[in-house]
Amino acid sequence: MKKCTETGKPSKGWKKVLLRILLTLLALFLVCAITVGISILVCRSSLTVHSYDVEIRGVTHPFTAVLLTDLHGKEFGEGNAELLELVRQQQPDVIFCAGDLIDGSASLADVERVSALLGELTGIAPVYVSYGNHEKAYLRNGGAELRPYVEKSGATLLDEACTAAEIAGNKICLGGTLGHLYLFGRTKEAYWSSPEVKLMQEMEASGLPTIVLAHMPDTIIFCQAYKDWNIDLFLSGHTHGGVIRLPFVGGLYAPMQGWFPEEDMGYFNYGRVQLVISSGMAGYKNIPRVFNRPEVCVLHISG
Ligand SMILES: [Fe+2]
């Protein structure tokens, strides 16, 4: 039963309860704010490793690959020493860089810094690089030609191209594309004559195990494009793991996929085609990563 004063106003007892509720809500808000703040700081500089086991028909010698994406010109330690050390610890047989190593607004100094990073990586294992939408934006914005910077580092650029690579005793057909493997608003003629379709056809015809660096997972997941291709493994980034990862929910937002993306990071098996999406290493524009540590993605590939 309510305790009332003679004036009909709530008693001091109710005021106390109200005050306690408000203080509890304030404390919860502060705890959440502090937790998010700490997470932002951790996710700004602290790398982690996510590993996946992938089986590819025709691989006779198991090997380890490191997948790096979406660095956006960031540095982890002086000269990326922390990133390099973490990659070195994985003892990879091959390193794949699947796009957005630089930002679309990068300076020449940024490009040279990433070129130096690629040079260091080639000292660990052979490096294969494909472009992301940000490298393409950099080039569109009048940036310097990137190919010489990749090639002087000793890495191999796969720009709508493929190569038969020797990896730990396996011959693998490696390709790189930023195209879309479905109509994407084009006529059928334009689609079938596009560089990405010709590249996939060439890779399928190789008869070798096939791995494609495709920065955007949209390339193969939109319109269920994976049903149309006979490629073993696609490696992507671009999603930044949904940028902010909500506990028990997952990523909040990914470019192209929008809010609460389903394919934001991890391993996906579509039957014939497999896909691994790295959450990458940077935030998205000015939005920091939350509960989403930058990652070095490691693939243990066997037959
Ligand atoms: Fe991207």
**Cα 205 to middle of ligand 1, angstroms:** 29
Beta partners for 274? 233, 269
**Cα 216 to middle of ligand 1, angstroms:** 7
Question: pTM value?
Answer: 0.90
**Cα 43 to middle of ligand 1, angstroms:** 18
What does the pLDDT read at residue 41? 85
**Cα 133 to middle of ligand 1, angstroms:** 5
**Cα 20 to middle of ligand 1, angstroms:** 47
Note the pLDDT tens digit of each residue in 206-244: 999 999 999 999 999 999 999 999 999 999 999 999 999
**Cα 193 to middle of ligand 1, angstroms:** 25
**Which amino acid is present at 263?**
E
**Cα 114 to middle of ligand 1, angstroms:** 16
173-182: average pLDDT: 96
Coil, strand, or helix at residue 212?
A: strand
**Cα 24 to middle of ligand 1, angstroms:** 41
**CB contact set of 112 (below 8 Å; sequence gap of 6+):** 149
Among the listed ranges 58-72, 123-137, 247-261, which one has the minimum average pLDDT value? 247-261
The answer to whether residue 54 scores a pLDDT higher than 70 is yes
199-211: average pLDDT: 97
pLDDT-derived band of residue 42, with 50, 70 and 90 as boundaries? Answer: confident
Cα–Cα distance for residue pair 95/65, rounded to 1 Å:
6
**Cα 212 to middle of ligand 1, angstroms:** 16
Structure tokens at 122: 């080639």
**Cα 173 to middle of ligand 1, angstroms:** 24
List, in sequence order, every beta strand (DSSP E) within the chain: 48-55, 63-68, 94-98, 127-130, 156-157, 161-167, 170-177, 210-214, 233-236, 245-246, 250-251, 253-254, 258-259, 266-269, 274-277, 295-302
**Cα 238 to middle of ligand 1, angstroms:** 4
